[in-house]
């Protein structure tokens, strides 16, 4: 159900932003999704399609996945999410609560658990295109 809630948030936000910018018919939405969201893409796309029907929309949705980048607050080393070896259970925790990554991961260079998520978390609408008639 996580994917449905995200899809509904995207649709409602796109409609709101389109109105603010005088767009009456949305033709295309560009989304960026952080890798840490770990979205089941088939479910998310299906949810978008079904919700667009409910809102009487027909728009193309372009989705780009943003890779996760992390930075150690101790040694400033940067690394990617791919470098973690998480169990399936740990991955599920991170999926629902990205901040739980701090319980399972350490800097691969110095071993510190004091790091920040620089990129790769969240869902963003990068652009909305449409017509004003």
116 CB burial (10 A radius; 0-12, 13-18, 19+): exposed
Residue 35 near residue 66, CB atoms below 8 Å: yes
Q: Tell me the longest C-alpha to C-alpha distance in the chain.
A: 57
Report the CATH number that the domain containing residue 91 is assigned in CATH.
3.30.2320.80
Task: Tally the domains of the chain.
Answer: 1
User: What's the confidence (pLDDT) of residue 59?
Assistant: 96
State the pLDDT confidence band at 101, using cuts at 50, 70 and 90: confident
Which domain, by its residues, includes 21? 2-131
User: What's the confidence (pLDDT) of residue 69?
Assistant: 93
pLDDT > 60? residue 27: yes
User: What's the confidence (pLDDT) of residue 91?
Assistant: 75
Q: What is the mean pLDDT of the chain?
A: 90
Give the lowest-confidence range in 8-17, 24-33, 78-87, 106-115.
78-87
CA angle 121, 124, 126 (to 5 degrees): 135
State the pLDDT confidence band at 23, using cuts at 50, 70 and 90: very high
User: What's the confidence (pLDDT) of residue 1?
Assistant: 54
Q: Which residues contact 91 (CB under 8 A, 6 or more apart)?
A: 38
What DSSP string describes 91-130? HHHHHH-GGGHHHH---TTT--S-EEEEES-SEEEEEEEE
Mean pLDDT of 62-67: 96
pTM listed for this prediction: 0.79
CA distance linking residue 130 with residue 132, whole number of Å: 7
């Amino acid at each position: 159900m996580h994917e449905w809630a995200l899809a509904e948030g995207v649709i409602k936000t796109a409609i709101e932003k389109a109105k603010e910018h005088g767009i009456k018919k949305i033709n295309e939405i560009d989304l960026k999704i952080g890798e840490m969201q770990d979205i089941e893409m088939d479910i998310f796309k299906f949810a978008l399609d079904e919700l667009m029907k409910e809102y009487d929309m027909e728009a193309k949705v372009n989705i780009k996945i943003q890779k996760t980048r992390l930075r150690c607050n101790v040694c400033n080393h940067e690394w990617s999410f791919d470098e973690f070896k998480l169990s399936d259970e740990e991955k599920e925790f991170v999926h629902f609560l990205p901040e739980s990554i701090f319980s399972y991961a350490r800097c691969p260079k110095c071993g510190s658990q004091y790091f920040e998520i620089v990129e790769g978390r969240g869902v963003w609408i990068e652009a909305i295109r449409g017509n004003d008639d």
